[in-house]
Amino acid sequence: MHLFYTPDIAPAHPQYFLSEEESKHAIRVLRLEAGDEVQLIDGRGGFYNAVIHDAHPKRTILNITSVTPEFNKRNHYLHIAVAPTKNIERLEWFLEKATEIGIDEISLIITQRSERKEAKVDRLNKIITAAIKQSLKAYHPILNDAVKFNQLLALPFDGQKFIAHCEPGDRLDLRKVIDPQGRYLILIGPEGDFSPAEIELALESGFKPITLGEARLRTETAALEACFEVNFLNRL
């Protein structure tokens, strides 16, 4: 299966022109020819079957043969807000694996103990795009620009809100408090964890404290664990 990401495709149009980059990859690298079948995803849930009409290395023309809307649409919405890791490759690893497992939105948050204050969203989005093609996902997760922790808390969210932290005190087991087929926003802190003041501010903003187990996890591992648990619980 040869899959291409085509976010600008129009569902009702019978033809589509691949971009120069994708055309070059299809014709020069994959050696595709006129008459070969390919698949397209638009990042909005659309999955397309198509046939190459004109195998041009700069502007390949495709004939759309069928469209499947809401392809493999999941039964819940997961938004994880995570502090960017000092080693950006660890954040990239999380984005790749979370996309493959299933996630809808990611926010990068700058906290009091954050070691990294910014991240190149364009590069990170390319990693997400590669992951949706790898895992046959028709929905492209939203990646938001980095914002300060208090700014994230002030944004409206219609669903359950959780903060995972390692400070002493009562924390809930995510498996026991999650509402099936719901909407979830989970906060994951930096390597040094959220500060006590940030935790208190989150609780005052309606977030419930949760634990992701007894082990002390790295930031990207905790974020992926939360992603896995939410997806697993919604498959039961």
Report pLDDT digits (tens) over 3-45.
Answer: 999 999 988 889 999 999 999 999 999 999 999 999 999 999 9
Instruction: Write the Ramachandran bin of 147: left for phi over 0, alpha for psi from -120 to 50, otherwise beta.
Output: beta
Residues 94-149 pLDDT 10s: 999 999 999 999 999 999 999 898 889 999 999 999 999 999 999 999 999 999 99
Confidence of residue 213 (pLDDT cuts 50, 70, 90): confident
DSSP sequence for 109-122: EE-TT-S-----HH
Angle, nearest 10°, between helix axes 121-134 and 88-101? Answer: 40
Domains, the chain, ordered by start: 3-68 (2.40.240.20), 77-235 (3.40.1280.10)
Check residue 236 and give its pLDDT.
Answer: 72
End-to-end Cα, the chain, rounded Å: 30
Residues with Cβ within 8 Å of residue 182, at least 6 apart in sequence: 76, 77, 159, 160
Check residue 133 and give its pLDDT.
Answer: 94
Instruction: Write the Ramachandran bin of 181: left for phi over 0, alpha for psi from -120 to 50, otherwise beta.
Output: left
Residues with Cβ within 8 Å of residue 104, at least 6 apart in sequence: 74, 77, 78, 79, 139, 141, 142
